[in-house]
Amino acid sequence: MTRYVRHAKKAHRDANHPHLVEVLNALGFLVWDMADVGEGFPDLLVARRGVLSLVEVKNPERYWKTQDRKTHEKQAAFADLAKRLGGVTVYIVETLDDVTAFSGKVP
């Protein structure tokens, strides 16, 4: 069964989102902004050298009400499902150092 996601409204983007996208581009990644997809889907789909990765952008200065401040419930559920069923890791980046570390993990 195919599940379709409805786009009810434009998603919130963290303040560091545009800067981190620029850095990813500078590091040779092609970046698709997926923040409006919703339903826990990560903010970015990125590609470099034939490898696709999912990236969730978080603002380190924003307070999260969940116990794990890095993810919301739907985001955590999506990341868990992607890992269990697809073997796909959702990378979380907050800072330039995080983006640099992520860049070193993918070809």
Position 1 scores a pLDDT of: 44
Residue 93: CB atoms within 10 Å:
23
Higher-scoring residue by pLDDT: 59, 62: 59
CA distances from 82 to 27, 40, 51, 53 (A): 25, 11, 16, 11
Average pLDDT over residues 52-67: 77
Model pTM score: 0.82
* 8 Å CB contact between 52 and 32: no
- What is the rounded average pLDDT for all residues in the chain? 86
Q: pLDDT tens-digit profile of 6-33? A: 555 677 788 899 999 999 999 999 999 9
Position 85 scores a pLDDT of: 93
